[in-house]
């Protein structure tokens, strides 16, 4: 029997618009269409489609809007926009794609307790005919031109925000940057709290992480974050940070990007087969969170699959996202009981949302 799975982080709209992937196709169809493409390193290696989510009994995901703004003096590599206004426009295009999937009957926005319970009830009765549920999240807040824009985003269903992504940000400092959140970041956190928007601590650099947790009074999660104790890198969280998140009641979603799972990974050179990166490594990070907590109530999945990487940088035993079903057996072999497995695969995310939206 396939277990119900919630994925805490998927860049679906980015894949649809920037990678030009029709996620209504099967993964095999997307790969075939991309077979001769060379514009991106993960072409032909995608793992996610709406069909594969359904095949994996993944009826609820946290789906992102993402558009970075990079100032002129920021030389950090990676795609970004030259103004927050352009970044805002990009996120609105991504929102329009989610709305188009809703119109087509493929997806359904979940944004409060009523829609959550209704969706879960429908999925349990007829998973094949029920649209994929999604909670809308913003990865990096640089696209928020003003707090009027934030209120508009909330009215459109936005329910979680990660204030920073990579590098220096408008509201916080992200991966590969240093420094705190400053007055504007604190004001953003206050506005988020007033609107009951979840703080996603993922990608915050250490200084911004601690300052954000001290200032923010609302609900916090880490949608796709791994353990620094297992793979030393500032992109991961230290045990002290993980314990602080646990104390705040956060769910910590383990990410599947291979360089975050292997301490010996060399970007552009290593392979999942060469480094023997597998779902066993994913479970090591899940287990580390559980050991720190003393229970299974704070660990989850935030795969980030197809987050600008594909099979070339994913666990070797993941062909499509449907293979996340394999995690249950690995957890069972490590001695986890059925309730623990259910907590990790879906229950913790659902309990968190119910608490936030009650």
Residues in the chain: 358
For the cut 80, the answer to whether the pLDDT of residue 238 exceeds it is yes
CA distance 92 to 130: 25
Angstrom CA distances, 83 to 70, 74, 169, 255, stand at 7, 13, 12, 29
Give yes or no for a contact between 340 and 348, defined as CB atoms under 8 angstroms apart.
no
CA distance 54 to 69: 34
| pLDDT bracket for residue 79 (50, 70, 90) | low
335: left (phi over 0), alpha (psi -120 to 50) or beta: left
Model pLDDT, residue 115: 98
CA distance 47 to 230: 25
Rounded average pLDDT over 164-186: 94
User: What is the homologous superfamily of the domain 6-357 according to CATH?
Assistant: Metal-dependent hydrolases (3.20.20.140)
pLDDT digits over 92-126, tens only? 999 999 999 999 999 999 999 999 999 999 999 99
Q: Which of 312, 259, 315 is nearest to 282 (CA)?
A: 315
Rounded average pLDDT over 224-246: 97
DSSP H helices in 73-181: 84-103, 113-125, 147-155
Helix (H, G, I), strand (E, B) or coil at 138: strand
Domain boundaries, the chain: 6-357
Give yes or no for a contact between 225 and 205, defined as CB atoms under 8 angstroms apart.
no
Which two three-digit tokens encode residue 273? 């087969």
Which has the minimum average pLDDT: 70-79, 96-105, 208-217, 337-346?
70-79
> What DSSP assignment string belongs to 3-14?
PP-EEEEE-HHH
Radius of gyration, alpha carbons of the chain: 19
Model pLDDT, residue 268: 86
For the cut 60, the answer to whether the pLDDT of residue 342 exceeds it is yes
Which two three-digit tokens encode residue 4? 């119900």
């Amino acid at each position: 029997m396939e277990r119900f799975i919630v994925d805490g982080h998927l860049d679906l709209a980015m894949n649809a618009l920037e990678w030009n992937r029709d996620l209504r196709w099967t993964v095999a169809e997307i790969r075939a269409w991309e077979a001769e493409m060379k514009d991106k390193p993960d072409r032909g290696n995608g793992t996610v489609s709406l069909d594969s989510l359904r095949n994996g009994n993944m009826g609820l995901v946290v789906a992102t809007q993402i558009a970075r703004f990079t100032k002129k003096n920021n030389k950090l590599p990676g795609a970004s926009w030259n103004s927050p206004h352009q970044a805002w426009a990009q996120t609105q295009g991504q929102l329009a794609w989610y709305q188009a999937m809703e119109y087509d009957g493929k997806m359904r926005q979940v944004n409060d307790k009523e829609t959550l319970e209704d969706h879960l009830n429908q999925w349990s009765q007829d998973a094949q005919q029920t649209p994929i549920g999604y909670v809308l999240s913003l990865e990096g807040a640089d696209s928020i031109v003003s707090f009027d824009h934030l209120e508009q985003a909330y009215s459109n269903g936005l329910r979680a925000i990660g204030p920073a992504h990579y590098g220096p940000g408008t509201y916080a400092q992200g991966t590969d940057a240093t420094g705190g959140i400053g007055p504007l970041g604190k004001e953003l956190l206050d506005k988020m709290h007033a609107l009951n928007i979840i703080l996603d601590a993922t990608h915050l650099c250490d200084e911004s992480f601690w300052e954000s947790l001290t200032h923010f009074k609302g609900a916090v999660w880490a949608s796709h974050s791994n353990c620094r104790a297992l793979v030393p890198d500032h992109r991961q969280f230290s045990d002290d940070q993980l314990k602080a998140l646990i104390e705040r009641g956060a769910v910590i979603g383990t990410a599947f990007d291979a360089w975050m799972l292997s301490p010996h990974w060399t970007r552009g050179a290593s392979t999942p087969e060469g480094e023997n990166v597998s779902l066993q490594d994913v479970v090591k990070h899940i287990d580390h969170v559980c050991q720190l907590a003393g229970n299974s109530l704070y660990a989850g999945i935030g795969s980030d699959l197809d987050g600008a990487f594909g099979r070339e940088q994913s666990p070797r035993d993941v062909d499509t996202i449907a293979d996340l079903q394999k995690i249950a057996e690995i957890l069972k072999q490590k001695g986890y009981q059925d309730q623990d497995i259910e907590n990790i695969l879906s229950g913790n995310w659902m309990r968190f949302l119910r608490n936030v939206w009650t």
